Every structure is written in C-alpha cells, then in structure tokens.
Amino acid sequence: MTVLVTGSRGRVASTLLGLLDAAGIKAKAASKNPADLSPPPGVETVRCDLTDPATFDTALTGVDSVFLYAEAGHAEAFADRARAAGVEHVVLLSSSSVLAPDAAENPIAASHLAAERAFSDAADAGAFEATHLQPGAFATNALQWAGTLRAGRGPTLPYPSAYGDPIHERDVAEAAFAVLTEPRLRGSSYLLTGPESLTFVEQLAILAEVTGRPAPHTVVTPEGWKESVAGFMPELFADALLSYWATHDGRPTPLTRTVEELTGHPARTFATWVTDHAQAFRP
C-alpha cells in the first residue's frame, strides 16, 4: 500500500507520516511547497497544491490511499483524479462543525461540509471508499496564547467559560493511521474528541500548573474581541467563532470514546498535550 499524505507540514500529517514509516508502509509526503518538508528518511516528497488541480495527477500516481485535508474549492476535481488514478480509499480530515444544524450557512463549517459531500458522492458512485474524521477543538489552538503568556500577560477572552473538547494532534494522527490500515474501519464518519470538556479558564489553569508559570486572562466584550482581530480575521469568521463560543458558554461539550475505539487507548489529556508543548509557553 502507498499512502499520499497531503498537508505534510501540518502537525497531524507529519505525525501520521512517522507512524506509517514506523509500520513499514510506503508514503508520499505532499505539500504545496515540498522543499520545505522534512519527512522520515526515504519518504518521497511531492508537490500537491489542493488549490491547483494541475498538481493532482502527479501526486496521485501509484497511490492506493489518501489522507486529505478538507479543501472544498477543488474537492470534486480531486475526487475525479483520485478515481482516475485508481485510488481505493480517501480519509478526509474534516471537522465536528459539520454536525451543527447551521453547518451549511456557517463559514467555518461550510467548506468542510462541502468537501465531505464531494467525497461521499464519489464514494456512492463507486469511485473509492471515503472515511471522514471529524475532530472537535484541537489542543493546538492553545498555541495562539503562547506569545502573550511568554510575555507575562495572557489572552483576551470574550467567553472565558465557553467549553471545548481539546484533542491532541497525535490522537488524530493515530485515528487516521487506524482507518488507513484497517479495512473494516473504512467508509464511516468518526467524531473525535479529547477526553475532557474544559472551559478556556480551566485550560489556562492546566497551562499554569504544567509550565509553572502564570496563565492569566482578560475578559473583553464580544464586540471588543471582534475589533481586536479585525486586522487579520474576516468578519464572517469572527462572528462564527463568537456564535460558537456563546453557544458553548457554560455548556460542557459532549464527549466520545472514538479515539479509544480506533486506537486502543484513551485520548490524551490536555495536561499531556501541554507537557508535550511546554517550551512554546516559556520564555
């Protein structure tokens, strides 16, 4: 089996490459800029820009399975070229946001939903099998706080009591490895969560405990937060995030045991993730 791993600069994909290599499974590390990749020794690199269908055919040559980041713009074209290349299985890294009632209208969820539909339609037509991984909140989202925490300040939070289900990127990669290598797991959608439902305040407390450094925060109004991110975040995305946090303010996130069911071990805690990334939060 040969697995094409797209987005190989990402934390999930790079971890997956290591797992495949350790298991003796041939992989191709794909990226828009393959020269920037540092895959395990002997792993081939290839250019695959998910916004440029002209790069698809070369990347897909000789490939049996694909680990794919959700990019809705050319999902149908990728599905068509994967079918033509003889790909048997596509594992799509989607998002739990597709399960929301307003997913089609939500700018964050809509692209994931469109990609899922493109590959599900191709699978229904007999092109290949499609599996969707739907993680919730990535624990790596906490890295956006690292700069202010290193400076002795902390993040500004419009909804400090909003809950999330932070999941370690390695658990997502191990789930992907499981569905890529176990044929019985193909063709389903898997909702992945961390093992704990934690508020932002609780996550900061864990950061402080593990790193031994203060992890304060400042409460701001939703309007104030939106204004503070206006320079780099589109208004639609800011509104979607605020709506999500408001919906989960004081409401614990439902959890699944899907990581354990796929990998054979419980999902890693947020404290474990912080331990693995503690240096990012220290001066």
Partners of 147 in beta bridges: none
Question: Quick one: residue 212, left, alpha or beta (phi over 0 = left, psi -120 to 50 = alpha)?
Answer: left
At 136 the pLDDT is 95
CA 10, CA 259: separation in Å to the nearest integer? Answer: 20
**Pairing outcome for strands 198-199 and 163-164:** antiparallel
CA 231, CA 211: separation in Å to the nearest integer? Answer: 31
At 71 the pLDDT is 85
Q: Which residues of the chain have pLDDT under 50?
A: none
- Which residues does 283 contact at the CB level (< 8 Å), separation at least 6? 150
- Asked whether the beta carbons of 33 and 10 are under 8 A apart, the reply is no
- The whole model's pTM is what? 0.96
Helix, strand, coil shares of the chain, percent, nearest 5, are 50, 15, 35
Cα 18–chain centre separation: 17
